[in-house]
Amino acid sequence: MIKPKALILRTAGTNCDIESAYAAGQAGFEADRIHINRIASGEVSLDKYSFLFIPGGFSYGDDIAAGKIMALELNKRLGDSLFRFEEQGKLVLGVCNGFQILIKTGLLPFHSHNPEKMRATLTDNDSGKFEDRWVHLAAEPDTVCVFTNTIKPVIELPVAHGEGKFIVRSQDDMKELEDNGQIVLRYVTNNGGTPSYPEDPNGSMGHVAGVCNKRGTIFGLMPHPERFLHRTNHPRWTRQNMPEHGDGTAFFKNAFEYCAKM
């Protein structure tokens, strides 16, 4: 069988591209780490890939706002190929800084590229500081997201961000996302209950940790699934009896199964 190909997009400041490529490779993809300049120049074609992964980091130092410069660059330099990628039903995943980028391109969650009509953003954590901790998450039962088909009811992943607070302009906007099945993950307590700080590390509206597009093929989340692929990635692996595969593995296995069928 020909392996589906995953493109791990990187630029100045990206620092999770190696872990991201490893995660995609472990799931079965042929994973390539590609600098955005090679795609913009035409040297590498996005069309030959079925999975685009925008990993975490601090693209361009977050000098304006987290992910903003990279988002502008994507829209200006890769706009047509990126839209074509989405229209073909291919997968896009943005983790942490990658999620911030997808939000600021307008691809998530309302698919609007007019800055005046952006109805969602990721902003400073309520704590006013960088949050680096492990959190519990629950997948919404009616989400349309391809990546979460087989994850457990409550999972655990690490977060590391300063601007992870998801907000929308109104409760009507939140209801629209909920009705469409676009809310994918929420922060919860370890038994699935309603969290407070630090269980919700940033104060997101509705405790939202991840959202997708209407088709469920573009997914962004603040926690890092690529950082929990094996039980030894967990800080309590020597003290708890854990499965061999970490909770992040299922995200990439689901992506691989979808792309293999395509």
**Cβ atoms within 10 Å, residue 244:** 9
Gap between the Cα atoms of 13 and 126, Å rounded: 24
| E strand residue ranges, the chain | 5-10, 30-35, 51-54, 91-95, 120-123, 131-139, 154-161, 165-168, 183-188, 208-212, 218-221
Structure tokens at 212: 């997708």
Q: Is 212 a catalytic residue?
A: no
Gap between the Cα atoms of 180 and 33, Å rounded: 33
Q: Is 96 a catalytic residue?
A: yes
Whether residue 198 is preceded by a cis peptide bond, meaning omega within 30 degrees of 0, is yes
Q: Is 131 a catalytic residue?
A: no
H or E stretch at 87? helix 79-87
**248 three-class SS:** coil
Residue of 19, 73, 96, 156 marked catalytic: 96
Residue of 136, 212, 226, 259 marked catalytic: 226
Residue of 86, 224, 234, 259 marked catalytic: 224
Backbone angles phi, psi at 208, to 5 degrees: -75, 130
List, by residue number, the catalytic residues: 96, 224, 226
